[in-house]
Structure 1
């Protein structure tokens, strides 16, 4: 009876051992499952952190690119207004340097400290942008005001120039009218002859015998003219022979002068002080040779303008 009962305790111990081993295995599996879950969560959290850093990096790069574009815009505006832009070029270079650094970060390596540092620098750049935009706006306003003022001044200057031109033209016209009005006029022109015995002869018909003429005498009065200034006047006489040539001899006081832009000979000249009293003037001319027969002309000039004319005939 004792031999039949001995195997039962051994079987029980084996069962207990198997159960214990199963429990240990289950515990290990449960621990490994828990550790795998924790590791998965850590990986997910790390992936999320890396992704968030990459997003922050991309946002920061875009912000700096926008800042660079704004500085370049400001530089172009300042250049267009003819202003120096050295400070803007330096700022653009600084932004470019930061962009190079930002683009050099590897995935997930953009730390919170770096994020904070670049964010502060970007805020400083944006503050500079705002101040520069205010300066540019004020400069544009000043330029517009200056342009308006300059345009107004030019318009006034043009009007003033037109006025001055008009006044000058009016003065010129007035001067020409005064010059015309102040011209002298010879009146009561008479021609006489003087023979070799110094006897004078007048003829209402102004006809004389050529062989008896030694000298020709021309007398006239200067008409009144309240416009003509009282000053010394030059009076020229031209004695023109029948062939159209003017008698001219330097030894007897002849010379040349200008008539309507052309040079002409005069026979005699004298200076008188015009006093507006109808003062008499006379010329006595001796040719020193025989006079030609035919119609002679006497022309009187002052200031290059004819002031009187008459004719006489020598037979």
Structure 2
């Protein structure tokens, strides 16, 4: 009886040992499975963090690239208005420097502190950008207003210039009309001769014998003219011989004057106060040498303008 009962406890102990071993193995496997799960979750979290950092880094780079484009636009606008853009050039240099730093980062090294720092710098750049845009817009509005004002002033100036030119032309035309209207006229021009005995002779045909002529006498009246001012007038006589030369002698009162911009000789001159009474005027000229035969011309001038003319013949 005792020999039949001894193997049972040993079998039971073996079974218990095997069961315990199985439980230990199951526990180890469970622990390993748990650790693998934790590691997998950590890896997923790390990968998600890297993806997030990479996205934030790309977004930050795009924001700086947009800022760079806007500041370049502003620089061109300011240059287009002929203004200095040193401050914009300096900001563009800062933005380019930040872009180089951002592009050198790896997503894993783009820390939260760096994200905050570049985000704050970008915000400052955007604030300055908006402020500069407002200044540029105001400058453009001011320039447009100034251009409009300048254009209006130029138009007014052109109109005023045209008006002044028109008035000047009108005044010139009026002056010319007044000058023409105020010209004197020599009326009743008569030519006579005086011989060596101081005897005068006139002829209706204005023909005289040259050898008997000592002096030439020219008389006329200044016609009435209500436009011409009552002032001292300078009357000149030209005695032109048959060959076309005007008699001229300084010792007998001759000289030069201007006719239509050209210098001419006059034979005699006298000043008188015009009184608009058809006052008579007389010239007596002695050549002091024999007169040439042929057709002679007498021209009368006042103020360089011809006021009368006649001819006579010496035979």
What TM-score, normalized to structure 2? 0.93
Q: Secondary structure at the match of 1:108?
A: helix
The aligned runs of 1:288-303 (5 Å cut-off) are 288-303=288-303
Where does residue 253 of structure 1 map in the other structure?
253
> Are the aligned partners of 2:236 and 2:270 in contact in 1 as well (CA < 8 Å)?
yes
- The RMSD of aligned alpha carbons is 1.9
Shift of 1:312: 1.6
Partner of 1:154: 154
What's the counterpart of residue 233 of structure 1?
A: 233
Q: How many residues align?
A: 315
Counterpart in 2 of 1:213?
Answer: 213
Assess if the C-alpha contact under 8 Å between 2:241 and 2:297 holds in 1: yes
Q: Are the equivalent residues in 2 in contact too, given 1:51–1:108 (CA < 8 A)?
A: no
Residue matched to 1:100: 100
> 1:134 Cα shift?
1.7
In the aligned structure 2, how far is the partner of 1:256 from the partner of 1:60? 96
The equivalent residue for 1:32 is: 32
Correspondence for 1:78:
78
Compute the displacement of 1:83 (Å): 2.2
Query: Following the alignment from structure 2 to structure 1, what is the Cα–Cα distance between the partners of residues 105 and 10?
Result: 69
1: CA distance between counterparts of 2:312 and 2:137? Answer: 90
| Mapped partners of 2:83, 2:244: distance in 1 | 77
- Say if 1:188 and 1:220, in contact at 8 Å, map to a contact too: yes
Paired with 2:161 and 2:141, the residues of 1 have a C-alpha distance of: 30
Structure 1 contact 234–269 (Cα < 8 Å) conserved:
yes
Tell me what 2:19 maps to.
19
Runs of 5+ unmatched residues, structure 2: none
**Helix, strand or coil: the match of 1:83?**
coil
Stretch deviating more after TM superposition (25-34 or 226-235): 226-235
Give the match for residue 185 of structure 2: 185
Do the aligned residues in 1 keep the contact of 2:57 with 2:107 (CA within 8 Å)? no
Residue 144 (structure 1) aligned with residue 126 (structure 2): no
